Amino acid sequence: MVSNKRLVINTAWCKGCGICAAFCPKGALEIVDEKSRRKEGTDCILCGMCELRCPDYAIYIEESEEEAGDQWVRSY
């Protein structure tokens, strides 16, 4: 998948409430050790519903100039 969008999870701000994972239409997120992360083998469609409902602004879609390529999920 070639895209200039990527999903970003800021684990420093994530409080692990689980809202993003519960309402992700693709079931592409999970909570591990009280932090949100991408679930292996699932398909994120970059719809941004997680960003809209994250009470802590810890997950969002980032658009960048360069193609995101394989690095489309970034976490810190």
Partner 1 sequence: MVNTADVRPKTKQMSNLVYKYMRPEHLPHIWCPGCGNGIIMRDVAQAIENLGLSRNNTIIVSGIGCSSRAAGYLDFNTIHTTHGRAIAFATGIKLANPTLEVIVIAGDGDISAIGGNHLIHAARRNIGITVVVMNNNIYGMTGGQYSPTTPKGAFGTTAPYGNIDRSFDIAGLAYGAGASFAARGSAYHVQQTINIIQEGIRHKGFSLIDVASVCPTYYGRKNKKGSAVDMLTWQKENMIPVEKAEKMTRQELKGKLVLGIINQTQYKEFTFAYEEMIRRLFEEREKDE
> What does the alpha-carbon distance between residue 58 and residue 2 come to, in Å, rounded to a whole number?
24
Q: In the beta sheet, which residues pair with residue 1?
A: none
Q: Does 75 bind partner 1 (CB under 8 A)?
A: no
Q: Is 57 an interacting residue with respect to partner 1 (CB under 8 A)?
A: yes
How many chain residues are in contact with partner 1, going by CB under 8 A? 23
Going by C-beta distance under 8 Å and a sequence separation of 6 or more, which residues neighbour residue 16? 31, 33, 34, 35, 36
| String marking each residue 8-27 x if it binds partner 1 according to CB under 8 A | x-x-xx-xxxxx--xx----
Query: Judged by CB, which is closer to partner 1: 8, or 73?
Result: 8
58 binds partner 1 (CB under 8 A): yes
Measuring CA to CA, which residue among 6, 9, 62, 61 is closest to residue 32?
9
Binding site for partner 1 (CB under 8 A): 8, 10, 12-13, 15-19, 22-23, 51-58, 60-62, 76
